[in-house]
Amino acid sequence: MIVRIWRGWTRTADASAYEDYLLRTGFPGYTATPGNLGVRFTRRDDGDRTEFLLISFWESWEAIEAFAGAQPSRAVFYPDDDAYLVDRERTVSHYEVFASA
């Protein structure tokens, strides 16, 4: 299994709207991709910004490429992300799972 991690930040005032947007766009985009083994969308307020941490689990690199394209280290963005995000990681981190419970 491979874990894929991405972070982005909104204004705290926009966090709930971005959460709703992610549930309409990103969440189904991840979960509808064959080979996706699950996702965790998290958030935490930090002053006037809210950090979103998206963690997804994949069965193979091929599954990740089916989701992210030919350059799987690039983050996937959706059409209205610019309206919400004040900062974002343009790349993602991948980790191979060697133990899990």
Q: For residue range 44-74, what is the model confidence (pLDDT) as tens digits?
A: 999 999 999 999 999 999 999 999 999 999 9
| Candidate CATH numbers 3.40.50.2000, 3.40.228.10, 3.40.50.300, 3.30.70.100; the one for domain 2-96 | 3.30.70.100
C-beta of residue 64 within 8 angstroms of C-beta of residue 76:
no
> CA-to-CA distance for 34 and 84, rounded, in angstroms?
28
Residue 7 amino acid letter: R
Domain layout of the chain by residue ranges: 2-96
C-beta of residue 89 within 8 angstroms of C-beta of residue 75:
yes
C-beta of residue 92 within 8 angstroms of C-beta of residue 5:
yes
What pTM did the predictor assign?
Answer: 0.93
Q: How confident is the model at residue 39 (pLDDT cuts 50, 70, 90)?
A: very high
> CA-to-CA distance for 64 and 4, rounded, in angstroms?
8
Question: What 8-state DSSP symbol labels residue 13?
Answer: G
